[in-house]
Copies of this chain bind each other. A is one copy, B any other.
Amino acid sequence: MTIAEHDVRTEASTPAVATMSMAAALNLALADAIQADPEVVVFGEDVGALGGVFRITDGLTARFGEDRCFDTPLAESGIVGTAVGMAMNGMRPVVELQFDAFALPAFEQVVSHVAKLGNRTRGGVRMPLVIRIPFGGGIGGVEHHCDSSEAYYAHTPGLTVVSPSTPQDAYSLLRAAIASPDPVIFLEPKKLYWAKGEVDTSVTAEIGTARVAREGTDVTLLAYGSSVPLALEVAEVAAAEGRSVQVVDVRSLSPFDDETVTAAVRSTGRAVVIAEAPGYVSVASEIQARVFERCFEYLEAPVRRVTGFDTPYAPPKLEHWYLPDVDRVLDAIDSLHWEDEK
């Protein structure tokens, strides 16, 4: 299936509202960004004629030419390292790394240069580049194709790390990421690529802000990426059981929106953090720790987290046991000292 077949392509100049998949929204954001700014260039492995293994860059080369969207040799450090040089020379590179595990060869470039060049030069050189990574599991992929590596990036000072959970955020956050003067690690939940939603191209997103995805009064679920639809599903089930569940889409993993998150958890007094990645030393542990610290006086129960296990990602046939699911989150909610309730 190609995105062109979805027939959602819109001219950048005409703000439009349409229902489309997250993949289509990302494709549209890239096309609009290329059109809006002559310095935007998209490159990586298989992003040209093929349109990317997930077809996110579908049609861009045909439409804008090799100068704006092109394939590179197969070398991730090379891709990120040349992007650094292009950014130093005024371009706004948007690179695709094919899967989380295949972003790892570029890790030195990301940590030692992408994250630090702006600081090193006292802002004399900025790094307005975006590294897009199809991220996470839940698609039955074999080893090295389902990892979640947000912790590596979020821990690294100087990097902005975001992950959308809706087509709207996919569009708006990607546009914001490309417009940002700072380097952005843009994590695209593979599992949600084909989930549809409404996209209004005139809506802008502000990096660094969380979004309350559902109101609720008893407990707050804090999630991002593919865990957001899971949290919403949990909220539905819990509602049927009489529990009012609030869902916050953290969205911006770094910087973090303490204001929204703290206010949300204080309002319910209970919280569960959900994420696919192994939980140990993770974004989930960070959220858990800071919520604990900032909401200590308001908590009815310890903040819990439901995450992937601290094991390598499961093979496809065991994936369903590995990933956080509705029951596991409900169990965590159940453990939040409800017996103390009057």
Contacts and interface: CB of A to CB of B under 8 A. Distances in A.
Interface of A: 77, 101, 104-105, 107-108, 111-112, 115-116, 119-120, 143-144, 151-152, 154-158, 254, 256, 277-278, 280-283, 285-286, 288-290, 292-293, 296, 299, 301-305, 309-312
Nearest to A116: B312
Given A151-B151, A296-B302, A157 B278 contact: yes
A114 B101 CA distance: 13
A290 to B, nearest CB: 8
A175 to B, nearest CB: 25
Contact of A154 (B115, B116, B281, B304): B281
Nearest to A112: B101
B278 A281 contact: no
Given A104-B112, A288-B289, 9 more contacts: A107-B108, A119-B311, A120-B312, A151-B281, A154-B281, A157-B311, A254-B281, A281-B282, A296-B299
A144, A283, A296, A301 — most chain B CB neighbours (10 Å): A296
Contacts of A254: 280-281
A285 B156 CA distance: 14
A76 to B, nearest CB: 8
19 contacts: A104-B112, A105-B107, A105-B108, A107-B107, A107-B108, A112-B144, A116-B312, A154-B280, A155-B280, A155-B281, A157-B311, A157-B312, A158-B312, A281-B283, A289-B305, A292-B302, A293-B302, A293-B303, A296-B302
Contact of A101 (B111, B158, B293): B111
A155 B144 contact: no
Contacts of A151: 151, 155, 281
Nearest to A150: B281
A47 B115 CA distance: 30
Nearest to A278: B157
Given A115-B312, A152-B155, A293 B282 contact: no
Contacts of A158: 311-312
